[in-house]
Amino acid sequence: MSRLHELARVGQSVWFDYIQRSLISSGELSRLIREGVRGITSNPAIFEKAITQSGDYDVEIAVLAREGKDVLEIYESLVMKDIALACDVFMELYAESRGVDGYVSVEVSPHIAYDADSTVREASRIFELLAKPNVMIKVPATKEGLTAIEELTARGVNVNATLIFSVKRYEEVARAHLRGLQRRLDGGLPLDSTASVASFFVSRIDTAVDAELDRMGMKGLQGKAAIASARLAYARFKELFSGGPWDRLASRGARVQRPLWASTGTKNPGYPDTMYVDNLVGAHTVNTLPPATLGAYIDHGRTAATLETGLSDAEKTMEELEAAGIDLASITARLEEEGVKAFQRSFDTLLEGIGRKRDEVTGG
């Protein structure tokens, strides 16, 4: 039994934070599923790397270009095909897990992250276009995104709420999901087919906080903010998804919106390479791992449940950071804004790359 299967027994699912056509066509994705991978996430940065830095899509780009497709049409054709193919590969796991796992996530355009109405329209369109029960639509958890998350959940769209950096925003996302489920219940609609995760980004928190602490000369608190934040968010998850209001939804088939730990690749080479996996193991959670972190975890990761072992320490860490003058609310707000901008840049770079390849095969 692999470490990934052992994690699943504890209640945590590992999803792979990467997608590329050759990953699917070579059979590598099927092998990873046998190894214990239980889903896939993608984002504009991942597709930018996959499409512009490989030759996997060149022939298809040429065919679409000769058909007169513009850059956006080519982009959508390539991405939707990858997502659909991956959904098919995961369909058996989706069925075996009764809809708990086997999901493939694709993000709406990051350029509409601050437009709730456009996000709802685009996410609904993609969900209907793919017509796969195991696809999740990634929606940036901006303030405007909260409105979209509630509305999409009410419509029965599977949502991966992404770019969450603070416990406060996590709670707002969870409450938006619960409001959406309640609206479905009030409308006499089924709840058991609607799934969601809340993607809490971890390593970027430490990168930002550590930089502030370094300037203050307070190295003793470095490398603690992210895991402490995640543990506090998990504590809120357990509170929100238990008790009267939730029990009424659960009795009608509602699924918990699982916390998903994202940005789990260790940015600081001085930290253990499985730091954001080993310390965030708990029931009803997902950890999405990029290729290097997945390989490291399979090789030497730990599977003991750790999420609830240091809650008092997490609270103490937050108090110490505040006493040191760290404004975590300001830092996480900045990280959200920077995250949206980074995805926008990757999306634009991707389209530019497709445009160059299109021009190459059509003579400009």
Instruction: Say how many CA atoms lie within 13 Å of 344 toward its Cβ.
Output: 12
- Dump the DSSP string for 301-338: ---S--TTTTHHHHHHHHHHHHHTT--HHHHHHHHHHH
Check: CB of residue 119 under 8 Å from CB of residue 113: yes
Check: CB of residue 99 under 8 Å from CB of residue 195: yes
Check: CB of residue 187 under 8 Å from CB of residue 149: no
Supply the residues annotated as catalytic: 138
What does the block give as tokens for 180? 């959406």
Furthest-apart CA pair in the chain: how many Å?
64
Helix locations, 131-243, DSSP H: 143-154, 167-186, 203-216, 225-240
Neighbours of 79 (CB within 10 A): 21
How far CA 351 is from CA of 71, 78, 347, in Å, comes to: 6, 12, 6
Crossing angle for the helix pair 225-240 and 311-323, to the nearest 10 degrees: 130
Q: 């793919």: which residue's tokens?
A: 130
Neighbours of 249 (CB within 10 A): 18
Check: CB of residue 234 under 8 Å from CB of residue 307: yes
- Comparing CA positions, the residue from 352, 339, 298, 245 lying closest to residue 7 is 298
Residues in a beta bridge with 288: 15
Give the integer Cα–Cα distance in Å for 187 and 261: 32
The one-letter code for the residue type at 297 is Y
Give the integer Cα–Cα distance in Å for 123 and 117: 10
